[in-house]
Structure 1
Amino acid sequence: MLILLPPSETKRDGGAGSPLALERLRFPSLHPVRREVVDAVVSLAADHQASVRALKLGPKQAGEVERNRSIVSAPTMRALERYTGVLYDALDAGSLDDSDWAVAAETVAVQSALLGLVGADDAVPAYRLSFDSRLSLKRGDASLKKRWAAAGAAALAERDDLLLDLRSEGYAALAPLPDRENAHYVRVLARDDRGHVRALNHFNKQAKGLLTRALIETGASFATSAELLGWAADEGYELHPANDGSRDLELVVPEVRGAPGRLMATLRV
């Protein structure tokens, strides 16, 4: 099983790991594109104003340019610890024990705009780059989607195991899922106390982080979609196939009354 997570705009500073080593990252077929994108980001960082424009930075985000200038020499940390924000706060990688980390290393990947798919314990530096950033690459000025999509899709197509996609649409486009029965994109919906169900926006990240944590703790060893859905039902999670003919799964979570969009501390119904 492979769980696919989005990255976050915010990232933890520092790290105790040695500088970025592309050849040590998971999904080695992505190495040529990684090298091209890293080189382009470092080159862009030499021009502060161009970086601010390309990365759509505000006045208080100028330090992000220095992060990018130092990508190849900066210290690293494990991907699940590098990323911050709602999803990663809910996942709480800092409290995972060694056995949980072993599971995460095998079953969780993050979709980086800089490095493509990386493993949960891959050593990555702090950086600033989004799925919609534009860089001058060897093949011309193009979107990252155009540069990453084919290589990312091929990397996922090499796998025949269960794929559970928790990425946002923009990051999912950097490595599209293969068209097969055991590859699922997950939509998060919320049910209020009157039973009404609606799409969940910002707080869908919290639900995804909590679900990922639960899957890691249970071993994330499901071989089939049926096994995953059976586990979810047994554990009290409302996870089921969408009824629109797609292969998407819907995760329905409860809301706290009087605070629309705020999830309860648990996903269980």
Structure 2
Amino acid sequence: MLVLLPPSEGKSDGGRGRPLDLGALSFAEGLTGARETVLDELVGLCSGDEEKARGVLGLSEGLRGEIAKNAALRTAPARPVGEIYTGVLYDALSLGTLSPAAKRRAARSLLVFSALWGAVGVRDRIPSYRCSGGVKLPGTGALGAHWRRPLEGVLPDAAGGGLVLDLRSSGYAGMWKPKDEVARRTATVRVLQSTVVDGVEKRSVVSHFNKAIKGRIVRALLEAGAAPRTPAALAEALRGLGYRVEESGGGGLDVIVTEL
């Protein structure tokens, strides 16, 4: 099973450690060139005119300090991806508290998509940075489009013959879209809250807590050692873990909750 995750805007500080080694990241053979392109322009942009960099990156005045952080990306301390990303999904997933076996499964199966790195594994070491999926760099252009061809060159093989569980947000889903046989083995999850009003069930799409529930789902699958190969098998696995799940067609699963 390959699980595709979005990054988070929130990131922990780099702390102490060795600086970035692009050659040591996952998919180095296929993605290093594309990573160098984005990294070079981002560092150059943030080493120059602060106001221009702030405008390109869409940063508020309160986030001005992120520009200096980006300027130092090549020398800043790097830490495992699983320690860098914070936020609702990653808090719920709580990679650091997984059992040893679940941590090994996470290292094999989790990929985090990023406008700067393309796609990285949770043990890859990166520095803390600021660059969202909607950024359009003056030279490289829209980063979502920049990554499509390089990722298409490496991710179909990474998907293997098992299930692809795509939990990315829309801004990152466009970086790589599974095709053909891989698409038929790809599942997506929508979280719906069920409430009963005057004896009638009503469902609404969960927004903010959607991320927390998806983080809990991934954690439960990792701890259980689940290895479904199709969306239907994933639905059964989640039911076995206590979730209420309905298949909505096309690999889509609705996870229905009453409490957030």
Q: Shared fold by TM > 0.5?
A: yes
The 5-angstrom pairing of residues 184-195 of structure 1 reads 184-194=187-197, 195=201
Are residue 91 (structure 1) and residue 93 (structure 2) matched? yes
The match for 1:249 is: 253
- Report the secondary structure of 2:184's partner residue: coil
Higher helix share: 2
RMSD: 1.7
* Alignment partners' CA distance in 2, 1:73 and 1:239: 46
Gaps of at least 5 residues in structure 2 are none
Larger CA deviation: 90-99 vs 34-43 = 90-99
Q: Which consecutive unaligned segments of at least 5 residues does structure 1 have?
A: 256-262, 264-269
Which TM-score applies when normalising by structure 2?
A: 0.90
Q: Which residue of 2 aligns with 1:207?
A: 213
When structure 1 is superposed on structure 2, of 97-106 and 153-162 the one drifting more is 153-162
**Mean CA deviation greater in 108-117 or 20-29:** 20-29
Q: 1:148 to 1:192 in 2, by over 3 A?
A: same
Structure 2 counterpart of 1:236: 242
SS at structure 2 position matched to 1:87 = helix
Which residue of 2 is the match for residue 260 of structure 1?
Answer: none
The Cα of 1:229 is off from its aligned counterpart by 2.0
Identity of aligned residues (%): 38
2:137 alignment partner, SS class = strand
Q: Is the contact made by 1:207 and 1:253 (CA closer than 8 Å) also made in structure 2?
A: no
Does structure 1 retain, via aligned residues, the 8 Å contact 2:186–2:230? no
- 1:40 and 1:251 map into 2 onto residues whose CA distance is 41
Alpha-carbon distance change, 62 to 91 in structure 1, aligned in 2, over 3 angstroms: same
Amino acid at match of 2:223: E
Task: Find the residue that maps to 1:196 and give its secondary structure.
Answer: strand
Structure 1 contact 152–176 (Cα < 8 Å) conserved:
no
Which stretches of structure 1, 4 residues or more, deviate above 6 A after TM superposition? none
Does the 8 A contact of 2:226 with 2:237 survive in 1?
A: no
1:142, 1:157 → 2: CA distance? 25
Hey, what does 1:57 align to over in structure 2? 59
| 1:266 matched residue in structure 2 | none
- What SS does structure 2 have at the residue aligned with 1:72? coil
What is the CA-CA distance between 1:163 and the residue it aligns to? Answer: 0.4
Partner of 1:36: 37
How does 1:151-230 map onto structure 2 within 5 Å? 151-158=150-157, 159-160=159-160, 161-179=162-180, 180-194=183-197, 195-230=201-236
Mapped contact 1:80–1:120 kept (Cα < 8 A): yes
Cα deviation digits, residues 154-181 of structure 1 (max 9, x gap): 3222233210001101111112223431
Q: Give the corresponding residue for 1:21.
A: 21
Bigger drift between 224-233 and 51-60 goes to 224-233
Task: Tell me the TM-score normalized by structure 1.
Answer: 0.87
